[in-house]
Structure 1
């Protein structure tokens, strides 16, 4: 299987992934509770605009509008029989925009969690999870996606199921966890152990890492754990743009372009090879991140004190780097749409 990410890293050193899907689609008119994936057929011009905005901002990797594209998520919208076609459309739209970029842009097929708990905590068997992910990834591959981008995961077994599906379909894959619960995923996976999840797979991941979570300081602290555990690994960080806050009935994210630029510099220094934004990250934020990445020369590895001094205090205080041994706890919001 071809691996376009390694080839582009060899050319550019560090890659910029795109920003938020949900935040930007809500700004385009998506309503709360609606499935973004349905817009692949109902409003493809808006999905094209999403990808174009990120490419214009300088993204090297764009993610398809397919985060909730398994039958388990789509059944909430009576679209469980349209998995293949909706994912294929998602990849086709992204590939169409990427082809016009005038430079190499990797199209990664976004694969989010099913929203179901696997046995023994829930009713979904591992085999059924693999089957659901195969169905989704087959559509993404048919539409032209070059990589399966498994993201916002909590359970190691669900990561493995999605990875097995990617291997069955014949796509290279990456995976990221959301370390938003006392420095771990909701199911207790610590950042330093993220590498171990794919170790038993017959084909290893292209990259692993973290996305979403609770803001730049915490995801950077998780990065330190991940890069210390395996310095040679290709690590992804795709952090939220600050902390969400309500203004009336609307959610706004506190991160500024300046904060996200500093996050990029710290991520490079901390060992990340792919850096992007998640919830709240706009085209403007990503353009500032592109400039920061292009202008930055790697410096010494930061510590937690340096991270907090430059991008603010951690929300999961004492969690990530020193707290990879902390007990999991707390709750996380189960997001319907990435970003």
Structure 2
């Protein structure tokens, strides 16, 4: 059976995903140290408002409020026994908003990193990682998620565990790593290694790519390397809207809606199929991104120089990504 994202991608060149969950909830009053996922049952109206804001801004896909709702992360708050409850509630709220939208909107069940280091460098075994991802995946499935969305990972070992959990849950999935200094993840993975690794999985993701990291320009440098790998699987880009700052007790990012509109079109012209934002990306950014994607004609594949001209300088030399990206152009 074809999954919802593949069906949507078959009818259009790009899909607009959503923006920031954490930033938005903190600006709604989420206290530091409080697990955001608890709001699925204590403040469900605010979670509905979060998703509704993305849908009204033009998103075709949004992520559930379940990023940290695995047993390991919830254990830090004494909530291990509520993994199923919080994930099901996250998916149910998302399903409600999507079904009421009047158009096709995909509910993506967000699953972030477990929060422990995988063996052999750490103590987290493959079997235990699969178990925790599976508990979350089954609850998201039962709550009505269309697809699983594994994001902000840093190791291929953890990605493999998530892939196995998705397969056991009978769910399609997408995978996204976070690249930072020198074009690598925290665990040293390069974009080329990710592009190769996803094709060796028994159940490759529907789409894969990068999210979070530093800023929009750095994110697109990573995407250039993924494009240059030759892997033709649909790509995901969810970049941050600049860097954070605190204003009047609220977190704001310095990336303007205009900058994120440029980022979205650059991503599209690079060949990215699923385009969204991460930290700091608010409905105003999403609305500008949607308007730009619909109104600006497609252009040639952007060079790294074009990316920095429109979005600002890269935060580091990013030797790996920079070399790969230039070779393709």
> Which of the five TM-score ranges fits, normalised by the shorter chain?
over 0.9
> Which residue matches 1:284?
284
In structure 2, how many angstroms separate the alpha carbons of the residues matched to 1:270 and 1:264? Answer: 10
> Which residue matches 2:143?
143
> Which residue matches 2:71?
71
In structure 1, how many angstroms separate the alpha carbons of the residues matched to 2:244 and 2:320? Answer: 20
> Which residue matches 1:163?
163
Asked if the contact 1:227/1:233 (under 8 Å) is kept, the reply is no
Secondary structure of 1:11's aligned partner? coil
> Which residue matches 2:117?
117
Q: 1:249 to 1:27 in 2, by over 3 A?
A: closer
Asked if the contact 1:266/1:307 (under 8 Å) is kept, the reply is yes
In structure 2, how many angstroms separate the alpha carbons of the residues matched to 1:130 and 1:292? Answer: 40
Q: 1:250 to 1:51 in 2, by over 3 A?
A: closer
> Which residue matches 1:336?
none
> Which residue matches 2:239?
239
Secondary structure of 2:200's aligned partner? coil
> Which residue matches 1:201?
201
Asked if the contact 2:26/2:251 (under 8 Å) is kept, the reply is no
> Which residue matches 1:230?
230
> Which residue matches 1:173?
173
Structure 1 residue runs of 4 or more that deviate by more than 6 Å after TM superposition: none
> Which residue matches 1:108?
108
- The CA RMSD measured in Å over matched residues stands at 1.5
TM-score (norm: length of structure 2)? 0.96
Shift of 1:251: 3.7
Asked if the contact 1:221/1:320 (under 8 Å) is kept, the reply is no
Secondary structure of 1:289's aligned partner? helix
> Which residue matches 1:211?
211
Shift of 1:246: 4.3
Secondary structure of 1:280's aligned partner? coil
Shift of 1:123: 1.2
> Which residue matches 1:81?
81
Shift of 1:150: 0.4
In structure 2, how many angstroms separate the alpha carbons of the residues matched to 1:82 and 1:65? Answer: 14
Shift of 1:203: 1.6
- Could you list the runs of 5+ residues in structure 2 that have no partner in the other structure? none
Asked if the contact 1:223/1:271 (under 8 Å) is kept, the reply is no
Indicate the larger mover: 204-213 or 229-238: 229-238
Asked if the contact 2:23/2:251 (under 8 Å) is kept, the reply is no
Shift of 1:2: 3.4
Count of residue correspondences:
325
> Which residue matches 1:266?
266
Shift of 1:106: 0.6
Shift of 1:77: 1.0
- 1:55-70 to 2 correspondences below 5 Å: 55-70=55-70
1:8 aligns with 2:8: yes
Secondary structure of 1:77's aligned partner? coil
1:131 aligns with 2:155: no
